[in-house]
């Protein structure tokens, strides 16, 4: 089609903010109390970042892989696809990221975890603060809270924290950063006040990662606190 340049973001938005948040609300109601399990999983990720232990980071990567896989199936494929025809494609990319995170967990020669307050901050924000955004939004309510491991946005932000702490290579960043742009654009078109947040967090994490790459460390060449 030769007229792609005439399309704007709004031409691709096919649902209202009301439908979007009601979908999250009904999804939350359907899977409750899985959120408690997700919270525990989130705490594992935070502890993994806070403590420089290789096996903890492996656990964190596996927890994240499970979260991405769950979001791909339970959210994108089973729910979001009801109102967004692009959701099956989102599910596929989330499934790919889940596999990448599995690989990251066991990949030899990983960069060593580094004490990163920013990484900890990102993941903490994703797990503890992100659900509160539902209350900050006009007309928002607890039942529409976005919880790590349940819906994409906080899951992606928590992943950015882990990737930053682990100084993961660029390939692991691709899907999370792309999602931040897609979701940020969607929220912007839905006129949601915090639409800027996700792209801003992605930018912050990428810049920190690029700056941090000047002093790479390697698990195989650095003293491992556990060994």
Which residues form the interface with another protein (CB under 8 A)?
Answer: 3, 6, 10-11, 13-16, 18-19, 22-23, 26, 79, 82-85
Distance, in Å, from the CA atom of 175 to the CA atom of 90, rounded to the nearest integer, reads: 10
Least distance in Å: CB of 6 to another protein? 6
Least distance in Å: CB of 19 to another protein? 5
Going 171 to 20 to 85 to 33, the CA torsion angle's sign is positive
Least distance in Å: CB of 83 to another protein? 5
Least distance in Å: CB of 5 to another protein? 10
CB nearer to another protein: pick between 1 and 223: 1
Place of tokens 């556990």: 226
CB nearer to another protein: pick between 26 and 59: 26
Least distance in Å: CB of 155 to another protein? 21
Least distance in Å: CB of 8 to another protein? 9
Structure tokens at 28: 């939350």
CB nearer to another protein: pick between 1 and 211: 1
CB nearer to another protein: pick between 82 and 218: 82
CB nearer to another protein: pick between 12 and 106: 12
CB nearer to another protein: pick between 97 and 144: 144
């Amino acid at each position: 089609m030769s007229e792609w340049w005439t399309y704007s973001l709004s031409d691709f938005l096919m649902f209202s903010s009301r439908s979007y948040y009601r979908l999250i609300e009904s999804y939350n109601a359907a899977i409750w109390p899985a959120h408690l399990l997700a919270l525990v999983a989130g705490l594992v990720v935070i502890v993994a970042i806070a403590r420089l232990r290789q096996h903890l980071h492996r656990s964190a990567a596996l927890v994240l892989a499970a979260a991405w896989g769950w979001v791909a199936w339970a959210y994108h494929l089973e729910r979001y696809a009801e109102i967004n025809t692009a959701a099956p494609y989102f599910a596929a990319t989330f499934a790919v990221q889940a596999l990448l995170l599995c690989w990251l967990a066991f990949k030899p020669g990983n960069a060593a975890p580094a004490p990163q307050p920013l990484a900890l901050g990102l993941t903490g924000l994703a797990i503890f603060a992100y659900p509160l955004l539902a209350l900050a939004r006009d007309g928002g309510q607890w039942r529409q809270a976005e919880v790590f491991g349940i819906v994409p946005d906080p899951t992606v932000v928590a992943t950015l924290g882990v990737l930053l702490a682990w100084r993961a290579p660029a390939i692991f960043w691709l899907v999370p950063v792309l999602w931040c742009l897609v979701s940020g654009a969607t929220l912007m078109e839905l006129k949601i006040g915090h639409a800027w947040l996700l792209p801003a967090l992605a930018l912050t994490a990428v810049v920190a990662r690029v700056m941090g790459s000047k002093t790479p460390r390697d698990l195989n060449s650095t003293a491992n606190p556990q060994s």
